[in-house]
Amino acid sequence: MSLLSSLDQLIFHNRFVDAFPADKITENYPRQVFNAAYSFVKPTPVSQPQCVAYATDVARCLDLSADCYESAAFTQVFSGNRLLAGMQPQASCYGGHQFGHWAGQLGDGRAINLGEVVNQQGQYWTLQLKGAGLTPYSRRADGLAVLRSSIREFLCSEAMHHLGVPTTRALSVMLTGETVIRDMFYNGNPKAELGAVVCRVAPSFTRFGHFQLFSARQEYPLLEQLVEFTIATDFKEYQVLPKEQRYLAWFSDVCRRTAQMIVHWQRVGFVHGVMNTDNMSILGLTIDYGPYGWLDNFDFDWTPNTTDAGERRYRFGNQPAIAFWNLAQLANAIAPLFQIKTQPKLVAVLTSFNELFAHEWQKMMASKLGFSAFDVSEDHELCSELFEVLQQAEIDMSLFFRQLADVSLDNEGCDDDLTLFNDVFYQPEQLTTDIQQKFIGWLKKYRNRLLKEHYVADRKQRMHAVNPKYVLRNYLAQQAIDKAEQGDFSMVKDLLALVQRPYDEQPDKAQYALKRPDWAKQRAGCSMLSCSS
């Protein structure tokens, strides 16, 4: 397989555009779009595009050589200034529930799909520009994005992929040379910020909301067409089944993929922040990185989203329940495609999510703790006690699980083992004797549980393979953003290299594995963020 020497060699097969009706109105202004799956729209040209960073391994997925992604043409294309032959740029139409309430039509308000690349392995990759200008779905917004949010999405997409979490990818982030007015916390303090465009890459950007909108509008022929298209393109193994069995098998797979994605989120301490149904991928990919965050101090109630600070609907501990709720909305949307007598089968598939999630979660927790398998008779209690200690003692989640692999199996060293965890406490001076005793007591139970394992020689290696040393903490991303806004992109590139090896020790980058510093706890961008982030 040879890499391409020019972007003009990319091959586009735009299956979604070919299969579905387009918006009949060609003017680009915000409106309701009916009986169509997308609207043709071109990216808005920018004045002075400049490449901030690119991900070479994503470029390789597209067969691009260094000659391609280091060229001036690359900057022009992925800032939205130039279209390649075969691109059919469009914004897609979908709806969704936002914070539990039906919002009606939403759509790609600041995303434009450039087209679908077919690489030399026959894989399909949709290229999407976020922040490339107004679309018919922009509502009262401008369709643009700022540098801070674009850097956050670019880095997080790649960080999640290398953590082993199902996700969309990011090819590049570009400055536009324009300024964009944003009120970061919606508190009456708008300011001009640097505009930017990020290129997102995924096999598909189809969301739960695509199905919901067709169903809510009773556009059932389009709904059925979308289900059949989705199965034919990304779930081919179910095509041979009779219609309703085909739909049930497909929905079951969506439930499975969603459960596995959420388990991975919980494994690495990731909080999405905006689990609206329009932000849920039908492929079980993490999509739409806005006010996300990784847990610093372990807290089931933490959300990174200022908009969600009151209700905390999308808090860390509630993500599995929200995933189930969102799947229920998808089930409601496709229910009209089933006969009434077979709809209970759809409900049965939906309710199986909880059992599936529990099974996957148990496997995940066993691996984080270094067990060969989850022992239901005692590990539920062990985990519950651990979570209580982690939360009460305000312990850094990533540092704790990484350090846990160094716990000795020698019962005589229980008290001394507390010194292993000196660097994981955020408020060590507030540790009461009671909390310390609970911690010591848990460590004794943990040792006893490990001693029941038949083979523990490679425990540290196995635990380090699932407990990352490096995660993209918000304060690190903010530091990179601060530098980039001054024209220094070095930390963006450093963090990109860092997150590509999150489980390795990387001794020269140990400063990025430290817990959140005190100055970052309340600083904007370093803890909680808004939907503008």
Helix or strand (DSSP H, E) at 177: strand 169-182
Helix or strand (DSSP H, E) at 215: helix 208-216
C-alpha–C-alpha distance, residues 525 and 533, integer Å: 8
Beta-sheet pairing, 293-294 with 95-98: unpaired
Residue matched to tokens 């674009």: 150
Helix (H/G/I), strand (E/B), else coil: 4: strand
Alpha helices (runs of H) in 276-375, residue ranges in sequence order: 319-334, 343-369
- The per-residue DSSP string of 10-65 comes to --B--HHHHHSPBPS--S-S-----S-SEEE-PPPP-SS-EEEEE-HHHHHHTTB-
Active-site annotation holds for 416? no
What dihedral angle (degrees, nearest 10) is formed by the CA atoms of 40, 46, 50, 54? -10
Backbone angles phi, psi at 386, to 5 degrees: -65, -50
Helix (H/G/I), strand (E/B), else coil: 223: helix
Structure tokens at 260: 């596995």
C-alpha–C-alpha distance, residues 461 and 223, integer Å: 47
Which residue among 63, 278, 299, 308 is the active-site one? 278
C-alpha–C-alpha distance, residues 402 and 388, integer Å: 18
For residue 305, the cross-strand partners are 529
Q: Could you give the residue numbers annotated as active site?
A: 278
